[in-house]
Structure 1
Amino acid sequence: MEAQSLLDEVRRLRQAVEAEAPRYLRAWGLSPPFDPALHNLARYLALRRWDLRPLQRALMLHGLSSLGRLESRVAETLEALERALAALAGEGYAGPLDPGRFFQGEERLRARTQALFGPPREGRLTRIMATLPEGAWEVSLLRELGEVGMDVVRLNLGKLPEEAWEGALRRVRAAGEALGRPLPLVLDLEGPRVRILTRFPAQVRTGDLVALELSGQAPEPLPAFAPDRPGLLQLEEGAFLSLDEGRLLAQVEEATPYGFLLRVRLAPPKGFKLKPGKALNAPLTPQAPYLGEKDQRVLELAQREGALVGLSFVRRPEDLKALPQDLPGVVLKLESREGVENLPALLATSWARFPTAAMIARGDLGVELGPERAAEMEEELLWLLEAAHTPAVWATHVLDRLVKKGSPSRAELADAVMGSRAEVVMLNQGPFLREGVALLDGILRRMEAHQYKKTPRLRALGSWPLP
């Protein structure tokens, strides 16, 4: 394609993006002057409505940008491209854009990350968040984790008795003082999370019938379980639900006087043991209240401690309106299909109220979206959050085998490398958490020299020297 034809196409594309972006902004309830980050997000969504593959390939022949790395700077990249094409088409060259303006979205993302998760370490921009094991609160352990690379502490207070909360927080503060820098803290809300209760443990396999008890007891010996918060569920015949992040998948066969009869569609080859406390993913009623029983007390604690709040299973902008407006910051945990679909509106509502990051919680997303779509969605969420200049947290099962068993798989190492494209990588708890933090620190330092987000940095390679 000739330079003039490419120039005309890029100009049409710029006009379409600028015309369509305000429609997104108005749909999110915003009015001018628009927040620059949200305006960039709206431009990105407007641009990505188009199939850009033919244009990308044509630009490559002229040695020009392929548009593949414009997430944080949509308008600036299109303008720079138009200037270059105008020069090639003989219209004259207006010169390059000011670097401060061109990279302002990238700098805004870095500043927001530092405000939420503290300053970066020398040689590593991506922070490491560690989920502390219940009861492992020795200051010496926390200090050791900080020394080998932990930057942020995550506490799941739902699994910790309330009388132990203050002691845990006191030890985190003491560890930060010993390290000479504060340890940012994330406290998870329960949100509309559902877990199961069982009258007796049972082992079930693919094809088995299982009872879901809502209003009575199923006849024995039918394996049975009940949700701890039945009022949140909205089930009908044919609906699917899963336990333990998809290890068991069941389908509603019929309504019964006690609740529902389910058919197990997928279970591990050796069976799945129904045990109390397993997480249940199932359709929720639109009227489900967002805040759980303990959540108000966690919110008060976060306000007092200056901690970030992890918003579990946040689904709609209305969920955010139940929160106090003076929170130090929130982490939107993307764990449901509805939360992903509403992410742009969630970001617009959240940023208007408090500093915001978002967690790509891949375990629950895999259950909600299915493995193929979830794998694709991980990428799309990284792009979308960068476009919104919003810090991304890469979470769920990162180096999981290493943290739990002491040695990593090769697939885990590749997954950790992928996490280097986020602002924060989260490790779950386990007996080898220290080893996990240390290895992740080394991986992130190496990858940072090679790549930032989707952009290769082209550091010199030393593995194959000139003969």
Structure 2
Amino acid sequence: MKIEKLVKELSEILAEITASEDVINSLTQKVHPDYKASAKNLIRYLILRSYDLRKYHNSLSDLGVSSLRSGEGYVYSDLSNVIRNLNLIKGTPFELYSDVESIGYTESRKLLKKHSYRLFSKTKKEKFTEIMVTLPDEAAENRSLLKKMVKAGMQIARINLGKGDPDLWKKMVKLIREVSDETGKRIKIYMDLAGPKIRTSPIEIIDSNGEKKNAIAIKKGDHIILAKSNGRELDPVDKQEELPYKTVKIGVTLEELIDDAKIGDAVYFDDGTIQAKVIAKQTDDLELVIHESYKSKIGSLKGINVPNTRLSLPALTEKDKQNLAFVCANADIVGYSFVRTGSDVKKLYQELDKYEAQELGVVFKIETRDAFENLPDIILEGMRRNKIGIMIARGDLAVEVGFERISEVQNQILWICEAAHIPVIWATQVLENLAKKGIPTRAEISDAALSVKAECVMLNKGPKIILAIKVLKNILKRMQKHSFKKKNELRPLHVAQGYIRKTFSESEAKVMPH
């Protein structure tokens, strides 16, 4: 593309951003002062990304100026500098709009660091990505295990309020505080609200040998009756010898699903390993047909995802509200599960205000299609407080948006959060095989390396969790020398130095930078 056309088209984009300043100021009016510049940059980024910028990248790179590929955190100054440099190349003057407040690259990094330090209560000495670990039940009493986790590199202890009970959680908190004092390391406590997680009801059947089972055999083509259990025990299997398929009956923990689902809606069980579709609907149940199954059994309390169904469920359940008193008294950070809209954020903040919990960090878990599509609203509403973050809950999110799209979607979440200078937690199945079996897969090592783009990485529990923490810490330490967000950090490469020493003569090598 010719330089004249580049200047013309990019100037038009800059003019639109500039003309939107009144709207931007209005949209960010109620944002916390610490996030004002970040909120404005986020909206400018969204305006910029409403254009197809691909046609400019290569032409800008050829001219030796920013290609607009990695300026998420400083949109206005990046675009302005590109246009100014293009005009300098042309030999024509360019004046920046003086009344537009903007931030540059260095300031954008400072803001992200400041917001990360505040959310995770970090000191300036702690430069590396935080490591969060989900606590197993035994961490309530096993002091030795907890100490080993801390010494291995755990900085944030995650307590899942969707499991266990207040007595267990209290024991965990008490032991974390004691171990933190004993080791001299400040361990932050993160608590996940359970939210309206939809699961299969408990299953208990007696097999032909008289043994109790909590799973039912299924296969592709079988039918499932998903029913409102209302506390009743359901007969799990209806024998239909004359049909080529069998029908199993299973209860659901949140009965609103039955009311809200429509014929044709997708229903996924157990992280998408069993995929079905609604083919009939009654008042108290749905009939599904399994069109894909990667497992031979469907079990008790397995997660259910309905990506096409608009659920009339509150993100904040009554149980969550009851647990908030405990959270506000004991946690450093709360995770808001299944948040879908900016309105959901308001509702949580209203509840937190009752406890005057202004110092509590809040992390919004992006785990549904709605949450992803409403991410800008969630962030801007969240910015009314100054200790916030985003978790990419990749398990549920992958089922919701599709496994083919999850890589694209998680990158978009990272970009939007970078534009807002908001810390990100990279979660779900990180080094899962290593934590469970002690042997990592190549794919999960690559995934862990990518997690350096986030400000915190979450590991789940497992028998080999100490090893997993150590490996993750080592990977993050190495990768942070090579990259920051989308930008590569060019430290000296040993392979390059070795080649130079080997190939060039000693006199020539002396002039080479080492």
Regarding TM over 0.5, the answer is yes
> Paired residue for 1:387?
419
Q: 1:146 offset after TM fit, Å?
A: 1.8
- Whether contact under 8 Å (1:21, 1:42) holds in the other structure is no
CA distance in 2: counterparts of 1:64 and 1:349, whole angstroms: 35
Other-structure match for 1:75:
76
Alignment of 1:190-205 (within 5 A): 190-197=194-201, 198-200=203-205, 201-205=215-219
Question: Cα distance, 1:6 vs. partner?
Answer: 3.0
2:238 aligned partner, one-letter code: E
CA displacement at 1:245 relative to structure 2: 1.0
Match of 1:229 in 2: 254
Q: Which residue of 2 aligns with 1:254?
A: 280
The structure-2 alpha-carbon separation of the partners of 1:431 and 1:293, relative to structure 1 and needing over 3 Å to count, comes to farther
| Structure 1 residues 364 and 163: alpha-carbon distance in aligned structure 2, compared to 1, 3 A threshold | same
Matches within 5 A, 1:402-417: 402-417=434-449
Give CA-to-partner distance per residue, 1:7-36, whole Å, 9 cap, x none: 333322211223346657757886999921
Match of 2:221 in 1: 207
Amino acid paired to 1:127: E
Pick one of 294, 299, 316 that aligns with 2:319.
Answer: 294
Contact kept, 8 Å, 1:199 with 1:225, in 2: the verdict is no
- AA aligned to 1:376 is E
Relative to structure 1, the CA distance from residue 305 to residue 32 in structure 2 (aligned partners, 3 Å threshold; closer, same or farther) is closer
Q: CA separation in 2, counterparts of 1:369 and 1:21?
A: 33
RMSD of aligned C-alpha atoms?
Answer: 2.7
CA distance in 1, matches of 2:32, 2:289: 52
8 A contact 2:137–2:168 mirrored in 1: no
CA contact (8 A) 1:129 1:153 kept: yes
Identity %: 32
30 and 232 in structure 1: CA distance in 2 versus 1, 3 angstrom threshold = farther
C-alpha distance after superposition, 1:360-414 (max 9, x if no partner): 1111111111112222101111101111111111111011100011110000111
Corresponding residue number in structure 1 for 2:505: none
Change over 3 Å in CA distance of 1:406–1:121 after alignment to 2:
farther
1:127-166 correspondence runs (5 A): 127-137=130-140, 138-166=142-170
Spell out, residue by residue over 1:327-363, the C-alpha distance to the aligned partner (whole angstroms, 9 max, x if none). 4111111110011111100111111145210111111
The aligned residue for residue 269 of structure 2 is 243
The one of 108, 114, 119 aligned to 1:116: 119
Number of residues of Structure 1 aligned to a counterpart in Structure 2: 464
Q: CA 1:32/1:329 → structure 2, altered by over 3 Å: closer, same or farther? A: closer
Give me the whole-angstrom Cα distance separating, in 1, the residues matched to 2:262 and 2:278.
7
Q: In structure 2, do the counterparts of structure 1 residues 25 and 210 end up closer, same or farther at CA, with 3 Å as the change threshold? A: farther
Aligned-partner residue type, residue 266 of structure 1: E
- 1:79 Cα shift? 2.0
Q: CA deviation at 1:64?
A: 0.8
- Extract unaligned runs of 5+ from structure 1: none
Hey, what does 1:66 align to over in structure 2?
Answer: 67
Select which of 99, 107, 112 maps to 2:110.
107
- Name the counterpart of 1:43: 44
Alignment partner of 1:372 out of 404, 408, 426: 404
Give the TM-score normalised by structure 1: 0.92
Distance in 2 separating the partners of 1:31 and 1:449: 34
Distance 2:109 2:343 in 1: 29
Paired amino acid for 2:279: E
Structure 2 alignment gaps of length 5 or more: 206-214, 240-246, 503-514
**Aligned-residue offset at 1:292:** 2.5
Q: How does 1:349-364 map to 2 (within 5 A)?
A: 349-353=381-385, 355-364=387-396
How far off is 1:143 after superposition?
Answer: 2.3
Aligned counterparts of 1:147 and 1:22: Cα–Cα separation in 2: 51
Contact 2:17-2:44 at 8 Å conserved across structures: yes
Given candidates 175, 179, 182, the residue that maps to 1:178 is 182
Residue 438 of structure 1: aligned partner: 470
Choose 207-216 or 188-197, whichever is displaced more: 207-216
Aligned-partner Cα distance in 2 for 1:37–1:31: 10
Q: Work out whether 1:318 is the aligned partner of 2:318.
A: no
Structure 1: distance between partners of 2:21 and 2:238:
59
Alpha-carbon distance in structure 2 between the residues aligned to 1:293 and 1:275: 26
Q: Distance in 1 between matches of 2:48 and 2:102?
A: 23
CA distance in 2, matches of 1:348, 1:189: 21
